[in-house]
Structure 1
């Protein structure tokens, strides 16, 4: 029947069509003028070719490796804040998360606490750390200061430098001391520069230094000249772009950042919603450095920019202060990555990616505090930062979320960095806008990626329904998806359009690209974002045949449309091209993507799925499993003759994956707890640690700072608990984590009266890794001191944490749990 011959039916049809259109939220992008002019050859950097003929370089848009576009992913770990015996494990964990450049401050006070006496031994052995980076094929970016900040005493300056004064300027006496420090760094790096075939590719000068004035720029260029004279010859020199940087000079690449919170802010109330979660041209988080620098400008005009948009301080978490104790969860940090990559960033650099512990110096403690005329009090030891890899090397949910986006950047970043950025016609301008979906497109005007983030920290975003995109390309208009999608609250995703898959044109997908596995029949791995049905529109032009497992295929005018109805390990689309080549597309679930690991191991590129932590080296696979003795690792392609000294491996299949399982002996270690009234037997009766030199004149009853000390000392109202640790607690284990669930102001753990771990209460348990202290526990006893939290303390807590504690001084141990960590080595039998 032709409805248009019947007026009533025609009217009903038109009304229904108009209603459908009205319900659809169409976001329009004009992508016809998105190409970015590229300037090259103007940056005055260091030697960028190694003995193998490999090169590193940068132009005004992106970085290059061996002449090809490169998307670096950089993560910060401070080697001197992590025990030397855990360095290799930490490097492997970072690499497994997609980090290919490791950054670290080289804190001056750690290495020359006393003038003229340099210490590069033990946990300060920079050279040994770099040798491990070289062993595992990870680049290193040195942040050489001399002023670093990093929440270190004096910002990293030794006390004797501060006492002489005239720092951070072209003062001859100050520069003479800096030159000696740089010369020492140069000797440590000698033979390990990229030009030597080593891992060291960069040097960041100073930190948070204003160099848009003539004096400021002269000082920065003086520091660079001094570094070069010290032998620090690297492909890249950088400096933080905030609070203001000269962006016409060609000597230093400005780097930017964004944090989920600002624990250094002087307020003890909830902060305003952050603009960092909005796509746009904002690169310098106005909150960074506000504690020391005050408010500073927000630069949004980057026309004529001469450097790749690079970040060095994307907050992988936040270090809590005494007066502000936020809880940082995975979306708080990963949403920042989606937003900044979508907004044009071409290097992701995280501060911190791995937490650590402050050492205690010969003469003083080494943390930032009000005693050193800084605005904040930090824990004496803990620098956990709530980062993806915590103080004890433990993984957090953000580690796995990051691995998803990093795998994409590692795999497809060479395309992404060449793309410009475009924003929709209708985009939110304020962080409290919940009506419009937040998104951006990276594109060359023909192909690209749509970045979406429906997240704002401290604001519940609604599900955004009936979303459809209209992309005005150089050749025509692309509207997708055919069936509008719902973007659920909190979800981030990347959707491709006109993406080349080895000769197959993917017109668009409502699935996120993860990686490509090289093989005679290449496998492209995607996953279905939470709440979104995965569909693929495949351009018919080059296709001979399409087959789908776990889904259906339908024919459209110019495309084959595949619905991946059952994402999983066997949801496979096989496409035969007209030239006879085959391309395969696998669609995983979102959870499987979080459990996915790509690595080249046992002679081939492989994709692994495991909810345990994997590390890869030339010798095999190391599996760390926290709490669970049942080990399961799935691999594609299958691995022949896989074995382990930990037990017999049972092999099965799961879709296209081989599944390997083994069970190690279960351990249930326990710690005996008893409350202690008399602490005199637990006091430090040996050599005393330097006390924390708190300045009582800057503290008040409302904000007294931490009351515990480096050497166990009584605190009014505090309660004490002995933790008896079993002798064999680590038998059959890689580590064991003591989880201390307490209520109070601070928690501090002592061995033989000396402080070994501390915590500012925020509502999360205090964690202590046993492996680090297995040789320090006299009689295997720890003493826990819990200092009471009182109403007069002016401290910011997340909602719901402090309210139940009001009206009383609280110091209470609720529970102690020990979580075992197992380790298994998987090797291929020869």
Structure 2
């Protein structure tokens, strides 16, 4: 396409409808939350929530604080969590809220980290839980569950009453963090039941501004609930013959499609007998409700028959595409992985044995989430944080902006682009990213003109080549300072902060894309500039090489242009009494004014802007600070961190692997249950390797089919190999591991069984290969002001 044809006209948005939905706070509520037809408001301003799913009952209670801290540092302002009925009422009438089932304590801790909470109350949850989270005793009664059957509703009322009693004093109307409640999950054809669940909760005293239900799969959602949508880049629930889910490609294009008919389709068919005709399902909602999400794939789980390899880049590109398509609420599932519970009937995962189409791992629910099952911080935690920092600063401007799609069909050779705008300013979205199974082309001579009511903005001023595999958003007519407007930039806005030298606006460059800043008027420029020129009443600035010291000085403001590697190290945290920017080599979060680091490396660096007067370290030693331009930098020696190899280059033989079997309502491959013919590998782990650190992970780099890890006779971890390493937390079993070691039971990869794995790893040889098994020692360091 000729670049001169890429033009789109945008207009101011009409006012949204108000008061037509039975949602939101009472008008007398402080910090009132309101739901309009196009966005949410809070305290009289548009609000763009960023929510991540974290399951308290699938995490050790002693790890809650760390996980919530990293979630907040990752830019979340809200967490969502399932209340799994099977965990809280294992026997009829005997409720448990102790240990890591203490919902109230979890919510209070979330609030300490500045996080609001959405409670996904069930009664049916799915979440890859046994029987959808229903207790076995409930299923065995043969009731008409998930309907308005009086006998079922009586049990639901008792469960809801227990849950709601734990929320007393914690709701938003009471000044607490609970802002929303979800009714059931993935219920498609019972709107009257969903409405009844809200009535029951309200009768029991629950008052929240946001009442929600999952809306995908053509779900019939009553007017009393706000439909929330999903978007996954792949799905374990697909058949093993499916290379890429039918609807996945929609999520990497800009457009009005909110629904996804792929997600949960197997359960709709197998459990409910519902088979959708895509032509009969309205994928574009009417104008009554805003485009809100609760399940943007933060990663992806694996099933035995199908094991997706979703990447960090998949997750980040998908998230940005949803914003470019008009999302006003980003909700991720999962944001933090966890471990399946073990209940009265054994492990509580979904399986063929409980009538589900899929066998998932018995214990691991890692989901390749931004925060892993054992607190591992994944690359997309950093990629998403860049987006979330932008939403934290610009969400109130962005949420009311409408969407105009400029281009982008399913043709991989066509540039995909869109504009979100208020008619005067906005953001240009561009992408050449789609997962490697169906990549998009690079784009040559990219130049776009956005025609506002009072001016045209052409970006960039000279056409540029856009590499394949990038997804980005550029500001249009962004106010930098009083009287100073950034007309356009070929870099993404991240955040802005004020220090002793005034305002600092942070941008992030895209690798392979030169950075151009275009300023209205004749503007004095200094700093990291390769050149400046006047073009049609603007000043065009060619920025020097981006990085942590790339600062362009402008009247009344400085612009810091980071490279992508530096931007992935950038945090905005409250440290020593004020908001500061932090560049850290290792994952970090803030707690009570201090920085908490979790490091697998023996040494890391932390830079702060504006710098506190000084820092002390608990759990490590500091060198510095030293001055590096804007930043003050400390080197941190992390006590005990590092890795110790305990085995390498093993090729164990499984003497009698079981024959493949099929099961479940869709006759899919079943996870093996017979390990009598598995290979057995014993790993000795010296006790001193486990001492003196915050966490010890056994990291197994291997290929095979299925692995199980035992400490003594206790199954502590399992893994369906899908191309990634297998992490096993040894910390809870310290003494037993030191005395007995770890036993791995491994079954071999056999390609002819028909298990689906990603093309990137599909051609591994049959058999078992353990490249390495190492104990990764994770240290914890707290950096605080002296005397704090």
TM tier, smaller: over 0.9
Q: Which of 420, 423, 427 is the aligned partner of 1:445?
A: 423
Classify 1:670/1:571 alpha carbon distance in 2 versus 1 (closer, same or farther; 3 Å).
Answer: closer
| Structure 2 partner of 1:11 | none
Q: Which of 354, 363, 366 is the aligned partner of 1:372?
A: 354
Classify 1:147/1:481 alpha carbon distance in 2 versus 1 (closer, same or farther; 3 Å).
Answer: same
- 149-158 vs 765-774, which deviates more? 765-774
What is the CA–CA distance in structure 1 between the aligned matches of 2:534 and 2:527, rounded to whole Å? Answer: 13
- Residues 596-619 of structure 1 show CA distances to partners (whole Å, capped at 9, x for unaligned) of 111232222211112211101223
| Structure 2 partner of 1:175 | 153
| Structure 2 partner of 1:825 | 782
Deviation at 1:518, TM superposition (A): 2.9
Task: Give the SS at the match of 2:41.
Answer: strand
| Contact 1:703-1:794 within 8 A present in 2 as well | no
Deviation at 1:456, TM superposition (A): 1.2
Task: Give the SS at the match of 1:415.
Answer: helix
Deviation at 1:446, TM superposition (A): 1.3
| Structure 1 partner of 2:256 | 281
Classify 1:677/1:448 alpha carbon distance in 2 versus 1 (closer, same or farther; 3 Å).
Answer: closer
| Structure 2 partner of 1:119 | 96
Deviation at 1:268, TM superposition (A): 3.3
| Structure 1 partner of 2:657 | none
| Structure 2 partner of 1:803 | 763
Deviation at 1:550, TM superposition (A): 4.3
| 1:393 corresponds to 2:375 | yes
What is the CA–CA distance in structure 1 between the aligned matches of 2:20 and 2:2, rounded to whole Å? Answer: 51
- Residues 489-537 of structure 1 show CA distances to partners (whole Å, capped at 9, x for unaligned) of 1111110111112322111111110001034621111121121111111
| 1:794 corresponds to 2:769 | no
Task: Give the SS at the match of 1:123.
Answer: helix
| Structure 1 partner of 2:582 | 608
What is the CA–CA distance in structure 1 between the aligned matches of 2:23 and 2:643, rounded to whole Å? Answer: 54
Q: Which of 355, 361, 371 is the aligned partner of 2:343?
A: 361
| Structure 1 partner of 2:604 | 631
| 1:482 corresponds to 2:461 | yes
Classify 1:789/1:640 alpha carbon distance in 2 versus 1 (closer, same or farther; 3 Å).
Answer: same
What is the CA–CA distance in structure 2 between the aligned matches of 1:49 and 1:701, rounded to whole Å? Answer: 50
Task: Give the SS at the match of 2:689.
Answer: coil
Deviation at 1:231, TM superposition (A): 2.3
Deviation at 1:573, TM superposition (A): 2.1
Deviation at 1:36, TM superposition (A): 4.0
Q: Which of 501, 508, 514 is the aligned partner of 2:488?
A: 508
Classify 1:134/1:437 alpha carbon distance in 2 versus 1 (closer, same or farther; 3 Å).
Answer: same
| Contact 1:25-1:467 within 8 A present in 2 as well | no
Deviation at 1:243, TM superposition (A): 2.5
| Structure 2 partner of 1:98 | 75
| 1:188 corresponds to 2:162 | no
What is the CA–CA distance in structure 2 between the aligned matches of 1:361 and 1:149, rounded to whole Å? Answer: 16
| Structure 1 partner of 2:272 | none
Classify 1:772/1:409 alpha carbon distance in 2 versus 1 (closer, same or farther; 3 Å).
Answer: farther
- How many residues were matched structurally? 767
| Contact 1:449-1:495 within 8 A present in 2 as well | yes
What is the CA–CA distance in structure 1 between the aligned matches of 2:529 and 2:243, rounded to whole Å? Answer: 47
Classify 1:678/1:800 alpha carbon distance in 2 versus 1 (closer, same or farther; 3 Å).
Answer: closer
What is the CA–CA distance in structure 1 between the aligned matches of 2:494 and 2:760, rounded to whole Å? Answer: 37
What is the CA–CA distance in structure 2 between the aligned matches of 1:274 and 1:89, rounded to whole Å? Answer: 35
| Contact 1:93-1:614 within 8 A present in 2 as well | yes
Classify 1:597/1:238 alpha carbon distance in 2 versus 1 (closer, same or farther; 3 Å).
Answer: same
Task: Give the SS at the match of 2:157.
Answer: helix
Q: Which of 397, 409, 413 is the aligned partner of 1:429?
A: 409
What is the CA–CA distance in structure 1 between the aligned matches of 2:294 and 2:474, rounded to whole Å? Answer: 26
| 1:410 corresponds to 2:392 | yes
- Residues 142-195 of structure 1 show CA distances to partners (whole Å, capped at 9, x for unaligned) of 000111110101111111221222011110000000000000101111121112
- Residues 455-509 of structure 1 show CA distances to partners (whole Å, capped at 9, x for unaligned) of 1121232221110001121113222211112211111111011111232211111
- 261-270 vs 160-169, which deviates more? 261-270
What is the CA–CA distance in structure 1 between the aligned matches of 2:326 and 2:387, rounded to whole Å? Answer: 15
Deviation at 1:344, TM superposition (A): 0.2
Q: Which of 714, 724, 729 is the aligned partner of 2:689?
A: 729
What is the CA–CA distance in structure 2 between the aligned matches of 1:665 and 1:477, rounded to whole Å? Answer: 57
| Contact 1:701-1:792 within 8 A present in 2 as well | no
Deviation at 1:811, TM superposition (A): 3.5
| Contact 2:642-2:778 within 8 A present in 1 as well | no
| 1:159 corresponds to 2:124 | no
What runs of 5+ residues in structure 1 fail to find an aligned partner? 1-21, 577-581, 680-694, 709-713
| 1:27 corresponds to 2:6 | yes
What runs of 5+ residues in structure 2 fail to find an aligned partner? 270-274, 655-659
Q: Which of 757, 772, 775 is the aligned partner of 1:815?
A: 772
Classify 1:376/1:245 alpha carbon distance in 2 versus 1 (closer, same or farther; 3 Å).
Answer: closer
TM-score (norm 2): 0.93
Deviation at 1:566, TM superposition (A): 2.2
| Contact 2:21-2:224 within 8 A present in 1 as well | yes
| Contact 2:599-2:638 within 8 A present in 1 as well | no
Task: Give the SS at the match of 2:433.
Answer: coil
Classify 1:829/1:665 alpha carbon distance in 2 versus 1 (closer, same or farther; 3 Å).
Answer: closer
Classify 1:667/1:135 alpha carbon distance in 2 versus 1 (closer, same or farther; 3 Å).
Answer: closer
Q: Which of 251, 264, 268 is the aligned partner of 1:293?
A: 268
Classify 1:497/1:620 alpha carbon distance in 2 versus 1 (closer, same or farther; 3 Å).
Answer: same
| Contact 2:335-2:369 within 8 A present in 1 as well | yes
| Contact 1:438-1:453 within 8 A present in 2 as well | yes
Deviation at 1:666, TM superposition (A): 5.4
Aligned pairs (5 A) from 1:1-400: 24=3, 26-32=5-11, 35-45=13-23, 47=25, 53-164=30-141, 165-211=143-189, 216-246=190-220, 250-271=223-244, 274-294=249-269, 295-296=275-276, 297=278, 302=284, 304-400=286-382
Q: Which of 701, 711, 730 is the aligned partner of 1:751?
A: 711
| 1:562 corresponds to 2:527 | no
What is the CA–CA distance in structure 2 between the aligned matches of 1:137 and 1:823, rounded to whole Å? Answer: 22
Higher CA-based Rg: 1
Deviation at 1:26, TM superposition (A): 4.3
Aligned pairs (5 A) from 1:686-725: 698=663, 705-708=670-673, 715-725=675-685
- 293-302 vs 519-528, which deviates more? 293-302
What is the CA–CA distance in structure 2 between the aligned matches of 1:413 and 1:24, rounded to whole Å? Answer: 30
What is the CA–CA distance in structure 1 between the aligned matches of 2:666 and 2:490, rounded to whole Å? Answer: 56
Q: Which of 466, 469, 476 is the aligned partner of 1:497?
A: 476
Q: Which of 534, 543, 546 is the aligned partner of 2:515?
A: 534
What is the CA–CA distance in structure 1 between the aligned matches of 2:187 and 2:550, rounded to whole Å? Answer: 52
Deviation at 1:445, TM superposition (A): 1.5
Classify 1:127/1:49 alpha carbon distance in 2 versus 1 (closer, same or farther; 3 Å).
Answer: farther
What is the CA–CA distance in structure 1 between the aligned matches of 2:628 and 2:717, rounded to whole Å? Answer: 44
What is the CA–CA distance in structure 2 between the aligned matches of 1:337 and 1:550, rounded to whole Å? Answer: 32
Task: Give the SS at the match of 1:279.
Answer: coil
| Structure 2 partner of 1:465 | 444
Classify 1:514/1:667 alpha carbon distance in 2 versus 1 (closer, same or farther; 3 Å).
Answer: closer
Task: Give the SS at the match of 2:22.
Answer: coil
Classify 1:194/1:730 alpha carbon distance in 2 versus 1 (closer, same or farther; 3 Å).
Answer: farther
| 1:760 corresponds to 2:720 | yes
| Contact 2:258-2:284 within 8 A present in 1 as well | no
